[in-house]
């Protein structure tokens, strides 16, 4: 039987009332509040201890409004949450300035620097860990303050009596009272604390506690309200509006004591009714009915209480309770999504998803997103801001500025430049048209040259690419260098060893403006919230304005604050609403259906992380929340949910990750046992419907090029090699033009180091030719002098060419040193070659030849087969002889293998034929290439006698004839669009980019 609302007396006594937290709870509460209004002829002030049921209470008041209300109480009673009520305290402007969370973290940081005793404790922590620990320290300090500050309440009340005095003087007095109280409490608490950890914490508490703490402000606000009601009572001769306190959740003992005392004090000036929840007819388990005793232990139910619980279970059993088991995680999320969908189909519009298993709830949410805008999803569990696209983009900027002074890695750079909030045109002050494709071009250059890190490396790679473009009649893209310079400027601004917090914030804002990110973030819902969070770092004019810290410390603070922030989705009108919330948020709220996901024995009940510093026993002493209290509260919340909501789906995963069976929560099992006698509560095994289909074994991939597919009329040596290796691969990569996205981990032949070696050798031999023309040069002083000149200059050229790369990435120094070890042996080989009559002639020459073929339509096609030869030599005494050389940054063994398959990789033959057929173009008029050689730049030099540096093409005329015949056949087949079959040895397939398309291994 519900209790009737008490008759309001003017006995200056706290009155108690209790409501039953079932489906009718809000109506009962609303009727009671109206009853109070009618009795007192006043508009009551209703304060709820938690904010969750606020809207529900207001709606219930509106629905239950009595007819014929006197005009002075016609307005709805004022309903407000405790937190809002504190904020609305009269004269709150005079209170000490509220410290933000960030300021409190910084206070931990400052105290750490000041006090040696505390430093040792934080030593082992990384920067991110240290800020996390700072948060835990602050929470623990608040817990200690919660215990101590209530003892100050009478002093605070007395201080507020005089708050009409000068605000500053008043504040000083508050500080003084607090200091005295802390000093006194510190002595008392120190005696109780034995371990070092708690002793350090107490020291922190002593240093950190100040009048801007939320606990102190809470007490000041309560005192201010009390003061106001007292003044009201005096001025209005006792007709003050009644105060109704609704205890929506079990309070911590320390809060219980505080509010009990406060309500008694308040009752001296106004009618006060405290509303509790009565679990008598709602509790489904004894612990929910009996609660805990004064010692914090769970009370054991007696026989009559057991009977009461049984009665509650039997009378509240709904057909709408469903117990669903899913075997795997994915099934769990799928079942949750399906349950919600079934409620929506049944036209239920207000649905709750209780996220006992947060991951499964997130996954279910993702599955539900296909329902589109007709379902509004409100995530009350706190969607982290850090998981949004805006935060990821901002993070890419932070990664850029935290890079070492040489510069970031190419992936970090590209990640930043490719973030959707970076405004390239704005950054370069150019029109958007100029910037089209710029970042993709930069990525291509960095990938192709394997420029992995460092500003100088990036610039060198771009200059090389630009140089190549101009040499081939293209126009170099100057914006690429401008882009690197712009990003480098952003990075350099952060390179000082110590940052001042306030100037770091200004710098950050300038950077975000310059990169156009601030403007774009402003236009995005999550971006806007992110900018708001960043504003907290504006410490100008505050206590920590001049605080200095290292960049990694500041960055990890920034990241920790963003990590703590929640993203609030903008509400939009929709046909139905799904609220994702924790179990505690379902208290006194009404839903058409509730789905609880994660009801297994491991996740229900779920306990909050224990405070870092306090044992359960110490928690009890500090009168804060204990495991037992949380257990009881959850039993009550679940009872309330099951009793008051008609449709509840309880879903659990019946197999753990390791395949072990998982049972439903003990509460559910106990309900099953209790219900067995009456109507058994069956578990429904969720089964995913398998999709049926006939599979057909895949055959070897073959493709016939479509008639509309154009075939290139130029073929590079590498493209021809691809065609020889595997026609299907050629089809995918050269005809369809499909490319795999590359990253920097993959090795390339054309690495920046390899290209650099080629450039060094070209420059060196050109310099040698020039030097030879100088009649007085030391180079003419005999074989030894020539050798020395060559070694010295090759060393010098190498140092110079590698210098920039090493500035960008010091690891490249190893490559330089390896190469320098090769130089004497390389020079020896060159001198030996010269003694045979060969002389360096030219390098890096584009060269090729043209074939005429007739396609199936009878149309003649000129196909150009061409590439770039590394080097040509000519013979001094044989005026008709020339040689082509290809440098390879590979071991000789690899080159020997290559030579065995020369017809499949005929690069040197292409150059030889090209140069012979077009000797003028090759700048060797009148000569024919008779010799072709591969030269290794990584020869084994351990034993000079055994060093092999060169591998010649053997039987040159024979292979050349075979190649000439083969290439015509291959091109004829290609232009005839014959089927292109996938075949290649595994050694080729291993690195093939088209493997995912040809499905090698499946056939
Ligand atoms: S994986 Fe092998 S068979 Fe398939 S396309 Fe590549 S090279 Fe050819």
Is residue 131 classed as helix, strand or coil in its secondary structure? helix
- Give φ, ψ of 383 to 5 degrees: -75, 120
The answer to whether the CB of 43 falls within 8 A of the CB of 241 is yes
Pocket test for ligand 1, best of 998, 1002, 1003 (most atoms within 8 A of CB): 998
**Do residues 681 and 672 lie in contact, with contact meaning Cβ atoms separated by under 8 Å?**
yes
Which ligand 1 atom is nearest residue 989's CA? Answer: 2
Q: How far is the CA of 303 from the centre of ligand 1 (A)?
A: 77
**What per-residue string of b and e applies to 835-859 under the rule 16 or more CB within 10 Å gives b?**
eeebebbbbebebbbeeebeeeeee
The predicted structure's pLDDT at residue 335: 94
Residues contacting residue 771 through CB under 8 Å, at least 6 positions apart:
777, 779, 789
Percent of the chain with pLDDT over 90: 50
Which of the four pLDDT bands, split at 50, 70 and 90, describes residue 189?
low
What's the CA gap between 337 and 335, in Å, rounded?
Answer: 5
Ligand 1 centroid from CA 699, angstroms: 13
**Facing residues of 864 across strands?**
714, 850
Q: How far is the CA of 743 from the centre of ligand 1 (A)?
A: 21
pTM above 0.85, yes or no: no
Q: Tell me what pLDDT residue 483 has.
A: 95
> What does the pLDDT look like over 398-449, one tens digit per residue?
999 999 988 999 999 999 999 999 999 999 999 988 888 899 899 988 888 8
The DSSP output letter for 6 is P
| Residue 128 confidence (pLDDT) | 64
Tell me the pLDDT of the chain averaged across its residues: 87
Confirm or reject: Cβ of 724 under 6 Å from ligand 1.
no
pLDDT, tens only, 315-338: 887 788 999 999 989 999 999 999
Contacts of 876 (CB under 8 A, 6+ apart): 837, 838, 839
pLDDT of residue 509: 96
Rounded average pLDDT over 805-823: 84
3-state helix, strand, coil in the chain (%, to 5): 55, 15, 35
Is the predicted pLDDT of residue 80 greater than 50, yes or no?
A: yes
Residue located nearest, by CA, to atom 2 of ligand 1 = 989
pLDDT surpasses 70 at 121: no
Among 33, 26, 80, 31, residue whose Cα is nearest residue 56: 26
Give the CA angle between residues 639, 640, 645 to the nearest 5°. 110
726 ligand 1 Cβ < 6 A: yes
Residue 377 to residue 578: CA distance in whole angstroms: 5
pLDDT, tens only, 963-979: 999 999 999 999 999 99
For residue 793 and ligand 1, the question of a CB distance below 6 A is answered with no
**DSSP-assigned letters across all residues of 927-994:** -EEEEEEEEESS---SSGGG---EEEPSSHHHHHHHHHHHHHHHHHHHHTT--EE----HHHHTT-TT
Residue 783 burial (10 A CB sphere; 0-12, 13-18, 19+): exposed
Pocket test for ligand 1, best of 701, 727, 728 (most atoms within 8 A of CB): 728
Name the residue at shortest CA distance from atom 7 of ligand 1.
989
Nearest to 563 by CA among 518, 533, 525: 533
pLDDT in tens, 600-625: 999 999 887 766 666 666 677 777 77
Is the minimum distance from the CB of 219 to ligand 1 under 6 angstroms?
A: no
Segment 931-940, tens digit of pLDDT: 999 999 999 9
In this predicted structure, the answer to whether residue 748 has a pLDDT above a threshold of 50 is no
Q: Calculate the alpha carbon distances from 181 to 175, 377, 439, 458 in Å.
A: 10, 48, 62, 62
**Residue labelled with tokens 């140089």:** 467
Cβ of residue 650 lying under 6 Å from some atom of ligand 1: no
Q: Answer for the pair 445, 465: CB distance below 8 angstroms, yes or no.
A: yes
Q: What is the mean pLDDT of residues 272-281?
A: 94
> Would you give the distance in Å from CA 548 to the centre of its chain?
27
Ligand 1 touching residue 992 (CB < 6 A): yes
pLDDT tens digits, one per residue of 628-654: 899 999 999 999 999 999 999 999 999
719 CA → ligand 1 middle, Å: 14
Q: Report whether pLDDT(749) > 50.
A: no
**pLDDT tens digits along 525-540:** 999 999 999 999 988 8
Could you tell me the distance, in angstroms and rounded to a whole number, from the CA of residue 48 to the centre of ligand 1? 70
- What spacing in Å lies between the alpha carbon of 188 and ligand 1's midpoint? 78
Extract the tokens encoding 24.
Answer: 């009718």
Task: Tell whether ligand 1 has an atom less than 6 A from the beta carbon of residue 403.
Answer: no
Of 726, 728, 727, 742, the C-alpha closest to 986 is 726
Paired residues of 298 in beta bridges: 292
* Beta strand spans in 5-70 (E): 14-19, 45-48
Tell whether ligand 1 has an atom less than 6 A from the beta carbon of residue 994.
yes
Look at residue 743 in the predicted model and tell me its pLDDT. 62
Distance (angstroms) between ligand 1 centre and the Cα of 735 equals: 15
User: Cis ω on the peptide bond leading into residue 605 (within 30° of 0)?
Assistant: yes
Of 134-143, 802-811, 929-938, 950-959, the one with minimum mean pLDDT is 802-811
For residue 745, the model assigns a pLDDT of 52
Distance from Cα 986 to the centre of ligand 1, integer Å: 8
Q: What is the pLDDT of residues 706-726, one digit of tens each?
A: 988 889 999 999 899 999 999
What is the C-alpha separation between 367 and 341, in angstroms, rounded?
Answer: 10
Positive or negative: CA dihedral 813, 814, 816, 817: positive
Length of the chain: 1003
Distances (CA, A) of 51 to 46, 139, 247, 276: 12, 21, 11, 16
**Position in ligand 1 atom list of the atom nearest CA 995:** 1
pLDDT of 912 above 80:
yes
- Please give the structure tokens belonging to residue 305: 């209480």
For residues 158 and 265, give the distance between their C-alpha atoms in angstroms, rounded to a whole number: 13
């Amino acid at each position: 039987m519900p209790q009737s609302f008490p008759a309001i007396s003017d006995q200056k006594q706290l009155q108690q009332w209790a409501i039953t937290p079932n489906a009718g709870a809000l109506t009962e509460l609303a009727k009671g509040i109206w009853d109070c209004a009618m009795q007192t002829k006043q508009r009551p002030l209703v304060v709820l201890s938690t904010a969750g049921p606020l809207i529900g209470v207001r709606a219930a008041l509106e629905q239950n409004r009595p007819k014929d209300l006197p005009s002075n109480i016609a307005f709805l009673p004022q309903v407000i949450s405790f937190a809002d009520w504190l904020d609305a305290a009269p004269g709150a402007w005079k209170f000490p300035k509220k410290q933000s969370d960030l300021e409190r973290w910084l206070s931990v940081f400052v105290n750490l620097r000041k006090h040696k005793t505390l430093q040792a404790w934080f030593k082992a922590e990384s920067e991110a860990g240290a800020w996390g620990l700072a948060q835990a320290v602050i929470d623990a300090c608040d817990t200690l303050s919660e215990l101590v500050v209530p003892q100050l309440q009478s002093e605070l009340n007395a201080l507020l009596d005089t708050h009409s005095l000068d605000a500053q003087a008043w504040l000083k007095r508050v500080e003084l009272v607090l200091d005295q109280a802390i000093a006194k409490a510190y002595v008392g608490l120190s005696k109780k604390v034995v371990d070092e950890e708690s002793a350090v914490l107490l020291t922190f508490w002593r240093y950190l506690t100040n009048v801007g703490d939320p606990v102190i402000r809470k007490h000041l606000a309560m005192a201010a309200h009390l003061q106001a009601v007292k003044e009201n009572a005096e001025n209005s001769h006792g007709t003050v509006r009644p105060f109704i306190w609704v205890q929506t959740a079990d309070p911590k003992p320390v809060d219980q004591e505080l509010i009990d005392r406060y309500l008694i004090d308040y009752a001296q000036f106004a009618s006060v009714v405290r509303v509790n929840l009565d679990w008598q007819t709602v509790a489904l388990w004894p612990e929910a009915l009996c609660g805990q005793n004064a010692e914090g232990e769970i009370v054991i139910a007696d026989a009559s209480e057991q009977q009461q619980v049984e009665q509650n279970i039997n009378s509240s059993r709904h057909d709408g309770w469903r117990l669903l088991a899913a075997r795997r995680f994915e099934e769990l999320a799928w079942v949750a999504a399906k349950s919600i969908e079934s409620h929506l189909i049944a036209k239920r519009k207000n649905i709750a998803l209780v996220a006992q298993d947060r991951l499964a709830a997130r996954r279910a949410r993702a599955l539900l997103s296909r329902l589109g805008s007709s379902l509004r999803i409100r995530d009350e569990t706190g969607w982290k801001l850090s998981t949004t696209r805006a935060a990821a983009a901002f993070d890419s900027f932070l990664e850029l500025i935290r890079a070492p002074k040489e510069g970031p890695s190419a992936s970090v750079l590209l990640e930043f430049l490719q973030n959707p909030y970076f405004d390239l045109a704005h950054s370069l002050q150019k029109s958007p048209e100029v910037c089209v494709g710029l970042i993709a071009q930069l990525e291509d250059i960095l990938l192709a040259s394997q420029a992995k890190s460092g500003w100088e490396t990036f610039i060198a790679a771009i200059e090389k690419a630009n140089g190549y473009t101009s040499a081939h009649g293209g126009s170099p893209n100057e914006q690429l260098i401008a882009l690197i310079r712009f990003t480098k400027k952003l990075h350099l601004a952060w390179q000082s060893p110590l940052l001042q917090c306030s100037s770091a914030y200004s710098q950050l804002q300038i950077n975000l403006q310059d990169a156009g990110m601030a403007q774009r973030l402003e236009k995005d819902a999550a971006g806007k919230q992110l900018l708001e969070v960043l504003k907290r770092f504006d410490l100008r004019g505050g206590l920590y304005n001049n605080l200095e810290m290292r960049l990694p410390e500041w960055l990890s603070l920034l990241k920790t604050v963003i990590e703590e922030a929640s993203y609030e989705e903008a509400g939009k009108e929709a046909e139905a609403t799904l609220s994702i919330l924790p179990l505690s948020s379902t208290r006194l709220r009404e839903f058409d259906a509730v789905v609880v996901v994660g009801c297994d024995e491991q996740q229900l009940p779920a306990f909050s992380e224990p405070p870092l510093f306090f044992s359960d026993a110490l928690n009890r002493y500090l009168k804060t929340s204990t495991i037992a209290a949380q257990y009881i509260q959850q039993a009550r919340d679940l009872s309330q949910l099951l009793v008051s909501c008609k449709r509840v789906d309880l879903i659990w995963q019946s197999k753990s990750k390791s395949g072990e069976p998982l049972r439903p929560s003990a509460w559910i099992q106990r309900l099953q046992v209790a219900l067995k006698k009456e109507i058994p509560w069956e578990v429904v095994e969720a089964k995913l419907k398998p999709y049926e289909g006939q599979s057909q074994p895949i055959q070897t991939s073959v493709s016939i090029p479509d008639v509309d597919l154009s075939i290139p009329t130029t073929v590079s040596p590498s493209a021809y090699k691809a065609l020889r290796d595997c026609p299907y691969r050629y089809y995918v990569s050269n005809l369809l033009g499909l490319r795999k996205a590359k990253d920097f981990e993959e090795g390339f032949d054309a690495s920046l180091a390899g290209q650099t070696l080629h450039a060094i050798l070209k420059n060196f031999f050109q310099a040698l030719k020039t030097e030879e023309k100088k009649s007085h040069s030391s180079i003419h002083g005999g074989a030894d002098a020539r050798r020395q000149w060559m070694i010295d200059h090759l060393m010098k050229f190498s140092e110079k060419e590698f210098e920039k790369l090493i500035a960008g990435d010091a690891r490249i120094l190893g490559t330089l040193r390896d190469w320098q070890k090769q130089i004497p042996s390389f020079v020896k080989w060159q001198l030996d070659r010269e003694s045979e009559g060969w002389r360096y002639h030219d390098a890096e020459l584009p060269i090729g030849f043209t074939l005429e073929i007739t396609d199936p339509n009878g149309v003649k096609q000129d196909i150009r087969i061409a590439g770039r030869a590394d080097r040509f030599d000519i013979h001094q005494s044989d005026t008709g002889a020339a040689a082509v050389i290809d440098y390879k940054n590979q071991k000789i063994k690899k080159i020997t293998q290559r030579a065995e398959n020369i017809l499949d990789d005929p690069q040197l033959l292409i150059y030889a034929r090209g140069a012979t057929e077009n000797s003028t173009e090759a700048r060797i008029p009148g000569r024919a290439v008779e010799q072709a050689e591969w030269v290794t730049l990584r020869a084994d030099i351990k034993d000079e006698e055994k060093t092999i540096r060169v591998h010649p093409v053997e039987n040159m005329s024979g292979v050349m004839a075979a190649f000439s015949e083969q290439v015509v056949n291959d091109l004829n087949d290609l232009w005839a669009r014959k089927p292109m079959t996938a075949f290649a040895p595994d050694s080729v397939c291993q690195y093939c980019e088209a493997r995912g398309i040809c499905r090698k291994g499946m056939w």
